[in-house]
Structure 1
Amino acid sequence: MNINFYVTCIGDALKSRMARDSVLLLEQLGCKVNFPERQGCCGQPAINSGYIKEAIPGMKNIISALEENDDPIVSPAGSCTYAIKSYPGYLADEPEWARRAEKVAARMHDLTSFIVNTLGVVDVGARLPGKAVYHPSCSLFRKLGVKEEPLTLLKNVQGLELLPFQNPETCCGFGGTFSVKMAEISGEIVKEKVEHLMEAQPEYLIGADVSCLLNIGGRLQREGRPVKVMHIAEVLMSR
């Protein structure tokens, strides 16, 4: 299957291993991966801050970049996937752009739901011995409704034991610009998140949104916790 890969800003600038492993995983599952070179930021920071008008030129750039073919578009981040899927509403006053945005939005998939629901794969042959907790990001779980797909893939990783912990679906406190504008509140939220997940005594923290992992991982590091933080693509490429 031919697909397009939307790398995200964090994947491009901070977490290249996550982006690399996402592409390698998709190729391993039989996909021919295309990288639209004109892609850029989805505009999420501006959108979340209320600067919708200012974000529109960037939205149009993304739409144009992703129109080079009609193949599925896969992203390793639920937050960016949701942002692009929301473009039609922001462009409602420009019917032609709204129509184009709808077509792009319909082709957007997060990595885990694409693997499970489109490719029909639940076991990618990964192996990672140890105990782990999984954090369901708000964008993936609440906004996109992707809940079982990541868990299904992780439950089929050989040697990996998923541990339950208190209030797993509670926000980690990142929320994009929320963590900057409301730093004190954000700090307390992630502090509580770490308290809950550390009660399970995991070796790994796994998630499908790098932004959340950066936030929780930062708190874990500041507390000196010996927990390895991994994006689900990295886990699924473990052998």
Structure 2
Amino acid sequence: MKVALFVPCYVDQFYPGAAIATLQLLEKLGVEVHYPKNQTCCGQPMANSGYEHLTTGCNNLFVDNFSGYDYVVCPSGSCTLHIKEHLHSPEKEDQAIEIRKKVYELTEFLVDVLKVENLQANFPHKVGLHSSCHGLRGLKISQMSELVAPDFNKPAHLLNMVQGLELITLGRQDDCCGFGGTFCVVEEAVSSKMGKDRVDDHLEHGAEYITSADLSCLMHMEGILRRQNSNVKVIHVAEILNHYSHE
């Protein structure tokens, strides 16, 4: 299995540890991982701002970088969903279509493709899991609570394999954190209030860490936690799944 690692620009710039953890975790699971070095932004910020017609260069470069692999794996639900739904290249549309079929968010790749049932990891802490809107309602990596349907949660399924980890139950498991990309800029007050409510739910239930498959959400909540001088930390799900301590 030949897998390309797609690292979003904000992960590369602000949270490289999550990308490193993703690489190490995949390699531990026997995956041949490649990192196309010319990759840049996938174009999501422009598209979300109404300028999708300006993403042609990003799209063409993405196709050039990620064609020819069995799978493309990304530690970000929002960027994965953008590629799945918006990657187009008029000159190379057949290749773009193939990539859209092969791109996976990390936890859905581990559960649906690798079918992981055992992880050598430990993380002795109380952890709150934030389900991002893109992952929940776009990629459907967990079930929406308003539906009368069988429950499932792919990140939680993996986290429950981690020794010592206590996954807390939140009061409102599906709430948006308020980040929303450019939404947090154009609707700052609303975004901040939503973020505080989301953080409060984790704090009220005793979380020591907040985790998610989307670092953009975690970055938003981390800012709120820091302003509150909280000891609660944020951590990407890959960093927990890759964590092993001899303590």
The question of a shared fold, defined as TM-score above 0.5 by the shorter chain, is answered with: yes
Q: In 1, are the aligned partners of 2:4 and 2:69 still within 8 Å (CA)?
A: no
**Secondary structure of the equivalent of 2:166?**
strand
The answer for unaligned runs of 5 or more in structure 1 is: none
The alignment status of 1:58 with 2:58, answered yes or no, reads: yes
**Secondary structure of the equivalent of 2:128?**
strand
**Secondary structure of the equivalent of 2:169?**
coil
The alignment status of 1:157 with 2:162, answered yes or no, reads: yes
**Secondary structure of the equivalent of 2:55?**
helix
**Secondary structure of the equivalent of 1:169?**
coil
Q: What root-mean-square deviation, in Å, do the aligned CA atoms of Structure 1 and Structure 2 show?
A: 1.3
- Tell me which residue corresponds to 1:232: 237
Q: In 2, are the aligned partners of 1:115 and 1:122 still within 8 Å (CA)?
A: no
User: TM-score, structure 2 length as denominator?
Assistant: 0.91
Q: Number of aligned pairs?
A: 234
**Residues in 2 aligned to 1:83 and 1:226: alpha-carbon distance in whole angstroms:** 33
**Residues in 2 aligned to 1:185 and 1:62: alpha-carbon distance in whole angstroms:** 34
- Tell me which residue corresponds to 1:70: 69
1:99: how far off?
A: 2.8
Q: In 1, are the aligned partners of 2:2 and 2:69 still within 8 Å (CA)?
A: no
**Secondary structure of the equivalent of 2:123?**
strand
Where does structure 1 differ by over 6 angstroms across 4 or more consecutive aligned residues?
A: none
Query: Equivalent residues in 2 for 1:3-18 (5 A)?
Result: 3-18=3-18
**Residues in 2 aligned to 1:188 and 1:87: alpha-carbon distance in whole angstroms:** 30
**Residues in 2 aligned to 1:11 and 1:52: alpha-carbon distance in whole angstroms:** 22
**Residues in 1 aligned to 2:69 and 2:231: alpha-carbon distance in whole angstroms:** 44
Q: In 1, are the aligned partners of 2:155 and 2:213 still within 8 Å (CA)?
A: yes
**Residues in 2 aligned to 1:117 and 1:160: alpha-carbon distance in whole angstroms:** 22
**Residues in 2 aligned to 1:204 and 1:188: alpha-carbon distance in whole angstroms:** 20
- Tell me which residue corresponds to 1:34: 34
Deviation string for 1:95-122 (max 9, x for gaps)? x543322111111011111111111113
1:174: how far off?
A: 0.5
- 2:228 counterpart (201, 220, 223): 223
**Secondary structure of the equivalent of 1:158?**
coil
**Residues in 2 aligned to 1:196 and 1:22: alpha-carbon distance in whole angstroms:** 28
**Residues in 2 aligned to 1:225 and 1:40: alpha-carbon distance in whole angstroms:** 34
User: TM-score, structure 1 length as denominator?
Assistant: 0.94
**Residues in 2 aligned to 1:70 and 1:198: alpha-carbon distance in whole angstroms:** 42
- Tell me which residue corresponds to 1:102: 97
Fraction of identical pairs, as percent = 37
**Residues in 1 aligned to 2:92 and 2:169: alpha-carbon distance in whole angstroms:** 44
Q: In 2, are the aligned partners of 1:87 and 1:102 still within 8 Å (CA)?
A: no
Q: In 1, are the aligned partners of 2:77 and 2:135 still within 8 Å (CA)?
A: yes
